[in-house]
Structure 1
Amino acid sequence: MESALEEIEFLALSANRVDVLRLLSEGGHTRNELAAETGASQATLGRILGDFQDRSWIGRDGSEYAATATGRLVASGFTDLREIIETERRLRGIVDYLPADAMTFDLRRLATATITTPSQTRPNAPLSRLLELLEDADDVRTVSHAFNEQTLTVVRERTADGEQTFDGVFSRSAIEALAEDTGLRNSLEALLETDGASVRVRDGGVPLAVMILDDVVYLLLRDEQGVLRASIDTDDDAVRSWAQDTIEEYWEAAQSLEDAGFSLE
């Protein structure tokens, strides 16, 4: 009897085998239907179906073939494995910058996320992506270790025009950096004067930068030196639920600027 790894190799080495087992796990198919769906020749299909029958992965009823219970189990498991590997390959280049300890959702939920990384021609591509999302968002909530000038400007302008509401929790160092720069300090003051904005301060560390813009979750990823490395955005329900809980937790534990000892006047 072949080992489990040999069975996985048997299936993985042929895209036709994977496709045929997937199709048969979804319902009965004739050989002609399988040929039309996969593009495989009748000879190839004959070998595949024979191998599957030897393993009791499929059964036959007249001219139709369909997966057995164990065949469906294998198909489901292999699909899960393939989705995991595909997601891992997408995240491989940025995994070192993910706030993994804080991300309690299944990483497979990022399978269809938009990943934006800097390039030679677009070194600020992740930030540009954020600004693009900010320009269209009606409701914005965030927790972050930084509050950069471009983001502050867009939020201030849109809240002042009544086009956006904004709630943000920032690290003390982020607010201190704004307060020390006259121009940024003025922008922050102007933001806080609007009816649609509220900002709180977190004294403890803020190990992530996550924002919810209407239904989209945006993650800004930096390395240990603070260099911008990538961004991820997704409208996945599970990721959004995690982001909502995370921001709410930080919001409840944070202080107002006044209570945190900041006076911007």
Structure 2
Amino acid sequence: MDAVLEEIEFLALSANRVAVLDALRGGTHTRVDLEAETGASQPTLGRILRDFGERNWTERTADGYALTATGRLIADGITDLRAIVETELKLRDVVEWLPADALTFDLLALRDATITVPTRTRPSAPLRRSTGLIGRAGRVRIVSHTFNERSLEAVRRRTVEGDGAQSFEAAFSREAIDALAEDDDLRDRLVAVLESDAAEIRVCDDAVPFAVTITEDVVQLLLRDDDGVLQAALESDDEGVRSWAREVFDRYWRDATPLAIDALESGGEGDS
């Protein structure tokens, strides 16, 4: 086996070795400190520290054990690798629906994301998560290729029945607006939202490749398959993701055309 892979295997086969490296990244530790922080027994710690010492990853000091320069290199590297693999595992089942070409932030930003998928007992879980987010927020901004009935109703309740409890700004694809305009009930609800001083909706002539919702502290991506079926709701409060979402919203918002009520009442054929 390649010497590099042997060293990777040496670490990967022992959670305690990784835990000791991670603890020492924070500074010098005694063996008692390491036992308390990692949960490893003293005999186990003895073997680990001996192995690390033979590799010159650690050194004994007056205050305990510390990482050497190369030990810190290894510790930082294994931490980065863990983060990468944790992120990949989290995204593995939904990556095929991610709008990857449009995501300019590092995917590691999604390491702590919350992902909601349909289950047998809760097939509508992603949609419920989405409407729940909209229903709680004081400010909502959306860029999307779709606007479903339940989301529209959640917005209507907050902007109209809630007497402006929510500020709502959205840039939708023309297809999303036309779909609502074709249904009398949904068109009436959309008109009610537009009549509210708390809401403004614009229409994008260009294709919108994603469904992004921005609230005060969370960004949500709705992930759909090629047939338009909602497969997951992904939420992140990472600042890199939030910055990306704000930039995306601002770009589409600037280029979109304000949606006029009379366009809806005439069948959704145009905007002014």
Interval containing the TM-score (normalised by the shorter chain):
over 0.9
How far apart are 1:252 and its partner, in Å? 0.9
- Distance in 1 of aligned mates of 2:63 and 2:260: 77
Q: Does the CA-based 8 Å contact 2:187-2:264 persist in structure 1?
A: no
1:34-49 matched pairs, under 5 angstroms: 34-49=34-49
Aligned residue for 2:203, secondary structure, equals: strand
- 1:134/1:263 CA distance change after superposition, 3 Å: closer
Q: CA RMSD in A?
A: 1.7
1:236 to 235, 238, 243: 238
Q: Name 1:204's counterpart in structure 2.
A: 206
Hey, what does 1:51 align to over in structure 2? 51
Q: Is 1:25–1:71's contact at 8 Å kept on the other side of the alignment?
A: no
- 2:222 counterpart SS class: strand
The equivalences for 1:68-217 within 5 A come to: 68-160=68-160, 161-217=163-219
What residue identity is the alignment partner of 1:82?
Answer: R
Q: Which amino acid aligns with 1:31?
A: R
2:4 maps to which residue?
A: 4
Gaps of 5+ in 1: none
For structure 2, list consecutive stretches of 5 or more residues without a partner in the other structure.
Answer: 267-272
> Residue type of the partner of 2:95?
V
Return the TM-score normalized by structure 1: 0.95
Aligned length: 264
**CA distance in structure 2 between the aligned counterparts of 1:62 and 1:164, rounded to whole angstroms:** 60
The alpha-carbon deviation at position 263 of structure 1 amounts to 4.2
Q: Distance in 2 between matches of 1:2 and 1:40?
A: 29
Residue 137 of structure 1 aligns to which amino acid in structure 2? A
| Code of the aligned partner of 2:185 | G
Please state whether the residue corresponding to 1:122 is helix, strand or coil: coil
1:47–1:187: structure 2 CA closer, same or farther, 3 Å change rule? same
The code of the aligned residue for 1:66 comes to A
1:171-200 C-alpha deviation (Å, 9 max, x unpaired): 111111111111111111111100011111
Counterparts in 2 of 1:42 and 1:258: CA distance versus 1, 3 Å: closer
Indicate the SS of the match to 2:112. Answer: coil
Task: Give how far 1:216 is off.
Answer: 1.0
Of the three residues 223, 226, 229, the one matched with 1:224 is: 226
**Structure 1 stretch 114-123 or stretch 31-40: which is displaced more?**
31-40
Please state if 1:264 is matched with 2:245: no
How high is the TM-score relative to the length of structure 2?
0.92
Identical residues among aligned pairs (%):
58
1:29 alignment partner, SS class = coil
The AA in structure 2 aligned to 1:19 is: A
**CA-to-aligned-CA distance 1:149-177 (integer Å, 9 cap, x gap):** 11111111211111001111111111111
Give the Cα–Cα distance (whole angstroms) in 2 for the partners of residues 50 and 200 of structure 1: 65
